[in-house]
A and B are shown apart, each in its own frame.
Chain A
Amino acid sequence: DIVMTQAPLSVSVTPGESASISCRSSKSLLHSNGITYVYWYLQKPGKSPQLLIYRMSNLASGVPDRFSGSGSETDFTLKISRVEAEDVGIYYCGQLLENPWTFGGGTKLELK
């Protein structure tokens, strides 16, 4: 199975500042078709996960452009610019390249 490792476990951010979350995969997520199959999700308290970024760097529908995704074949970053109160929750990266699809353990974002 592909292991997804996130860091840090938690991050505390002042509103208006930026935050970065890292995710590393145990295997390249770059397919031969040129697509990198890494995704980012936010699970707000008491809610279902919601898609933020698909295929490493594409913003999902309705997601503010304060969110951005980048990376290489095995190392990925989610950046949140100008953090707002509504961004609080647990962020997960996930790989959809190979079965079984797997997720990182999550990074909890809190406000200072």
Chain B
Amino acid sequence: QVTLKESGPGILQPSQTLSLTCTFSGFSLSTYGMGVGWIRQPSGKGLEWLANIWWDDDKYYNPSLKNRLTISKDTSNNQAFLKITNVDTADTATYYCARIKRGLDYWGQGVMVTVSS
């Protein structure tokens, strides 16, 4: 059974760094062809893809945020991470991680992040 769960700070202030963790089970990020992606969704709005990390440590970022994003993984502990630097109110959203095998095929429940002074 594949499951993913996101965790994060809940609330942070503008200019801080947002650190998110995706803890998963039911698959391994060391398996050929496997990946984990991060997607966010502001309240009442659509989906925005942020970044992917693959089994071979290949990484891809959305160019609109590339300079602010860092994705990484801890294969031994079945975790993936996303950092977003210099956040502002526009980064307020629900953040999802998802397994990538047949597309984004399993999603976590999401974690709400609010950026507010």
Contact = CB atoms under 8 A, between A and B. Distances in A.
B63 A100 contact: yes
Contacts of A92: 46-47
B50 to A, nearest CB: 9
Interface string A28-69: 000000000001010000001111001100101100000000
B101 to A, nearest CB: 9
Given A49-B96, A94-B47, A99 B104 contact: no
Nearest to A101: B49
B103 A103 contact: no
B96 A58 contact: no
B103 A49 contact: no
Contacts of B105: 51, 54, 60-61
Contacts of A41: 47, 104
The CB with the most chain A CB atoms within 10 A, among B48, B96, B102, B103, is that of B103
A54 B47 contact: no
Given A49-B96, A100-B64, A54 B102 contact: yes
A88 interface: no
Contact-residue size bin, chain B (C-beta under 8 Å from the other chain): 20 to 34
A44 B86 CA distance: 32
A67 to B, nearest CB: 15
A39 B52 CA distance: 17
B49 A103 contact: yes
Nearest to B47: A103
A101 B37 CA distance: 10
A89 interface: no
Interface of B: 37, 46-49, 52, 60-64, 96, 102-110
9 contacts: A39-B104, A48-B107, A49-B104, A51-B105, A54-B105, A55-B102, A94-B104, A96-B104, A102-B49
